[in-house]
Amino acid sequence: MAKENLNPFESAQAKIKKACETLGYSDDVYQILSQPQQVIEVNIPVQMDDGTTKVFKGYRSQHNNAIGPYKGGIRFHQNVNIDEVKALSIWMTFKCGVMNVPFGGGKGGVIVDPKTLSDNELEQLCRGYVDKLYRNLGEYYDIPAPDVGTNTKVMSWMQDEYCKINQGNANFGVFTGKDPKWGGSLGRGAATGYGIYLIAKFAAEKIGIEMKGAKVSVQGFGNAGKFTVKNMCKGGAKVVAISEWTREKGTYAIYNENGFDFDELEAYMEKNGNLINFPGSKELNEEEFFTLDVDIFAPCALENAITEEVAHKLQCKLVAEAANGPTTPAGEKVLMDRGIVITPDILTNAGGVTVSYFEWVQNLAGRYWTEEEVVQRQDAATEVAFNDIWDLAQEHKCSMRDAAYLVSIKRIYEAMKFRGWVK
């Protein structure tokens, strides 16, 4: 078997090319959209607790701001690299386009395993990232948010640093995903996982999977995975397997044919920092996890989880792409040939940025909404986006991913045309 191309930047470019060709756009449009407008690389010194100084490499990729300010998370992970950050920034542009959220796409990253840092070291790293990049951030310019390895605490340190640098001004709209106690929006923490559940539910209805009692397996139990499990359980589905990664053990999975209880999982995770030996569960190896007979599989971890090899193994009817870029192009082809429906990442996990947008609106207005208001708006936006894409995919007889790119690229093209960037 030929070696698979696992470069997410190149696969993102291939999707753009295909959509531009289908839409009949000139090559100029592809040329503009196939590269970030700018990519900034920074080196951030941190005084470690042992007295040494360590320099961490960070990036911010600003892909496109035709529709509005750059928007997207900051990832702290040991495998962050420039092509990954660029790809993630491209996906953000199209994710915002799919949801009709008035932002462009950006993404940041730092090469670090945050679990290896003390609180003091982590805080310095967060503040250092802002010290290096503040000129390129702003509530009308580039608005970061959490991603893999970052959370509300990271956002609060970064937001605080930005305010300090900006003469103490309370520009609370520069970072989203903050804690609701300080400028955050209710419902933001749960928003990505809730959106994943909604999209999976809408797709399940279309393809005849009854959500009540549907068997679900979930890869990852970070923010997206956790709230996906929570909402799947609440919606009556049976989450029978969860896979996770720890530094010590690597990848492992837990299984319970009767389905897990979310509150018990959360409490166990809180106490132990992992789900190893979760009461009543059986441990599965990777092969057993991927070949499980389930209705829905939600990859909620990192890109390239569903390679060609994994795609042959999966026994689900629906893949809800909760992570960014979880399916390789070769993996996607196999899934499609096997008739497995995929809800694409730029739609499935767009709940996070959708509620980030609500947070930004509340920050700029200085008026805060109830959780109910937030959820209602997320429900409405998600349903519209799903139906647009589902209908277009039926009309064009194409995948939902291709339809999502068509919807999104058209919106961005129209904004660029209006602004005189393309003919």
Which of the residues 353 through 372 are near ligand GLU (CB under 6 A)? 353, 356
Specify the residue for token string 């995770």.
Answer: 269
- The answer to whether 401 contacts ligand GLU (rule: CB under 6 A) is no
Which of the residues 44 through 83 are near ligand GLU (CB under 6 A)? 71-73
List Cα–Cα distances, 275 to 223, 242, 253, in angstroms.
15, 9, 8
Closest by alpha carbon to 132, among 40, 7, 17?
40
| The pairing of beta strand 238-246 with beta strand 250-255 | antiparallel
SS3 314: coil
Give catalytic status of residue 201 as yes or no.
no
Specify the residue for token string 């709209």.
Answer: 173
Q: Which of 86, 95, 107, 317 is catalytic?
A: 107
List Cα–Cα distances, 246 to 75, 222, 230, in angstroms.
17, 12, 21
Pick between residue 152 and residue 274 the one whose CB is nearest to ligand GLU.
152
Q: State the minimum distance, in angstroms, from the CB of residue 57 to ligand GLU.
A: 19
Q: Are 290 and 313 in contact (CB under 8 A)?
A: yes
Q: State the minimum distance, in angstroms, from the CB of residue 202 to ligand GLU.
A: 19
Pick between residue 58 and residue 352 the one whose CB is nearest to ligand GLU.
352
Structure tokens at 34: 């196939």
Q: State the minimum distance, in angstroms, from the CB of residue 228 to ligand GLU.
A: 14
Which of the residues 116 through 145 are near ligand GLU (CB under 6 A)? 145
Q: Pattern 95-114, binding to ligand GLU, x per CB under 6 A?
A: x-------------------
Pick between residue 73 and residue 97 the one whose CB is nearest to ligand GLU.
73
- The answer to whether 324 contacts ligand GLU (rule: CB under 6 A) is yes
Q: State the minimum distance, in angstroms, from the CB of residue 183 to ligand GLU.
A: 14
Q: Report the Cα 217 to chain-centroid distance in Å.
A: 18
Q: Which residues fall within 8 angstroms of residue 304, CB to CB, at 6 or more apart?
A: 6, 8, 325, 326, 328
Q: State the minimum distance, in angstroms, from the CB of residue 312 to ligand GLU.
A: 28
Query: What residues make contact with ligand GLU under the rule CB under 6 A?
Result: 71-73, 95, 145, 147, 176-177, 324, 349, 352-353, 356
Active site residues: 107
